[in-house]
Chains A and B, each alone.
Chain A
């Protein structure tokens, strides 16, 4: 089945830009969704369809997807952005259609 690979952790200073990658075979041909999860809370969708933002998500959150890598970019990082981030795809060709990446812990220094 399809595999998504994320770095376990990313660290960034406040005000800087954080980039979290999600690797998968020809992931650029799939729609990638990103979730933010803070301790004790349910995940929150922050990017869908590679680069669209749900209402209420700050413009600081953006996404891209090409080739074998999708990227979640968080600009002007704030302390409140510290969380776990997960990428996810829908693999329509599989009987295991929902695939999550392993998650990335974003630490704001």
Chain B
């Protein structure tokens, strides 16, 4: 059974930092491209970042480029998102999701809530 467990969310002040983690199991993590997707309260889904299976190719949404860093540890079956210079508009539930064939997402974690507020 595929499991994706996000952690590391919480309350942080504007300008602060957080590191999110996603623990994956039930599939060959090292073979899958991975993504972070977020959803602000009452808003739609927003793609945040992508990393290839080897980690050699990385993309970011314009809204987080230069502030967020995606990484992975295939030996630990884990995905990470280092978030710096956080803003109120980064407040959201953050999900990790592996890319399925055709670029869809057939598995999602339960998400971790990040709240940026003073």
Contact = CB atoms under 8 A, between A and B. Distances in A.
A42 interface: yes
A31 interface: yes
B102 interface: yes
Interface string A61-88: 0000000000000000000000010101
Interface stretch (A11-19, A21-29, A99-107): A99-107
Given A45-B104, A90-B102, A95-B59, A100 B110 contact: no
Q: What band does the interface of chain A fall in when counting residues whose beta carbon is under 8 Å from B?
A: 20 to 34
A35 to B, nearest CB: 7
A25 to B, nearest CB: 17
Interface of A: 31, 33, 35, 37, 42-45, 48-49, 54, 84, 86, 88-90, 92, 95-103
Given A90-B103, A95-B59, 14 more contacts: A35-B45, A42-B109, A43-B105, A48-B100, A48-B101, A49-B101, A54-B106, A84-B44, A90-B99, A90-B104, A96-B61, A98-B103, A103-B44, A103-B45
